Amino acid sequence: DAKTTQPTSMDCAEGRAANLPCNHSTISGNEYVYWYRQIHSQGPQYIIHGLKNNETNEMASLIITEDRKSSTLILPHATLRDTAVYYCIVRDFLSGNTPLVFGKGTRLSVIA
């Protein structure tokens, strides 16, 4: 699976949009971009995933650049409960039943 690079930490004011970047310059054509988050002392939670088109669900939006070498997770109106570590994971959908591998992620702090 391709390597990802994320900023170590970010702050965001409550109610504002949180934009979390991820670089995955070595991504291949079969690889999806997945985002998970981990709130303190909980297991990771799925947020969103995409291949090349932008995606939106009730939690977030995922913007993938045309060359697919980077992406941005957008939380449109961050709340204090969005404070967590956010993981960007690139993974081949043909990988089958193999585990997710987590990098260091971005620690997002939402500030009142």
Q: Note the residues at the interface with other proteins (CB under 8 A).
A: 32, 34, 38, 41-46, 49, 85, 87, 93-94, 97-105
In whole angstroms, how close is the CB of 103 to other proteins at the nearest point?
6
* Phi/psi-derived region of residue 37, left when phi > 0, alpha when psi is between -120 and 50, beta in every other case: beta
The answer to whether 38 and 85 have CB atoms below 8 angstroms apart is yes
Of 59 and 74, the one with the shorter C-beta distance to other proteins is: 59
Of 9 and 65, the one with the shorter C-beta distance to other proteins is: 9
The answer to whether 21 and 72 have CB atoms below 8 angstroms apart is yes
Of 14 and 92, the one with the shorter C-beta distance to other proteins is: 92
Query: What distance in Å separates the CA atoms of residue 60 and residue 95, rounded to the nearest whole number?
Result: 25
The answer to whether 51 and 90 have CB atoms below 8 angstroms apart is no
In whole angstroms, how close is the CB of 7 to other proteins at the nearest point?
15
In whole angstroms, how close is the CB of 15 to other proteins at the nearest point?
27
Of 22 and 85, the one with the shorter C-beta distance to other proteins is: 85
CA distances from 62 to 41, 48, 53, 75, 98 (A): 25, 7, 9, 9, 24
In whole angstroms, how close is the CB of 94 to other proteins at the nearest point?
8
